[in-house]
């Protein structure tokens, strides 16, 4: 039980995260996503598809799929799933993502990775939104985001604030 547990404060958490980043990187591990490290060439294929906004299809109860425009998920109950299939129905729920949803997910998931996001694609997807550009410039100036040619990635310091930075760039 976590009742009564008081976790580390923000400063202590930041220090621990920075120590972890330094130690793993010094020992040859790649920080390929905010909460994931791997040895070179050993990134998780399954989760990397999510972070790189790739399409995927899931089969079976509770399986999720994504086609670039919508997300769907199958019913979780095995009996209900089987009965629906036997009667010729695909027991899924589908959610059509808006352009803003797709943009926000692109920023949120891609910025968390070592591969980053495309500066050009970001501007195209947000339709050159002035507020997004202002927030982006502030994070570039602060050193939270690094731009190398067309790629935007988080700096070591920026990784401490990944969610806040992404939300600054949301539509």
DSSP string of 50-114, one letter each residue: HHTT--B---STT-EEE-SSEEEEE-S-HHHHHHHHHTT---EEEEEPPHHHHHHHHHHHHTTBT
pLDDT in tens, 117-136: 999 999 999 999 999 999 99
- Checking if the pLDDT of 1 tops 70, the result is no
Of the pLDDT bands very low, low, confident and very high (cuts 50, 70, 90), residue 6 is confident
| pLDDT (average), residues 41-65 | 92
């Amino acid at each position: 039980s976590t009742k009564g547990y008081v976790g580390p404060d923000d400063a202590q958490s930041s220090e621990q995260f920075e120590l972890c980043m330094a130690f793993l990187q010094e020992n040859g591990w790649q920080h390929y996503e905010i909460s994931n490290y791997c040895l070179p060439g050993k990134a998780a294929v399954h989760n990397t598809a999510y972070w790189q906004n790739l399409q995927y299809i899931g089969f079976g109860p509770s399986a999720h799929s994504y086609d670039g425009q919508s997300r769907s998920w199958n019913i979780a109950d095995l009996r209900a799933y089987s009965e629906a299939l036997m009667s010729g129905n695909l027991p899924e729920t589908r959610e059509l993502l808006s352009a803003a949803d797709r943009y926000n997910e692109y920023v949120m998931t891609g910025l968390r990775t070592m591969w980053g996001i495309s500066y050009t694609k970001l501007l195209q997807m947000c339709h050159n939104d002035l507020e997004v550009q202002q927030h982006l410039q502030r994070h570039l100036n602060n050193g939270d985001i690094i731009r190398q040619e067309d790629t935007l990635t988080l700096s070591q310091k920026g990784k401490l604030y990944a969610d806040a930075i992404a939300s600054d760039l949301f539509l």
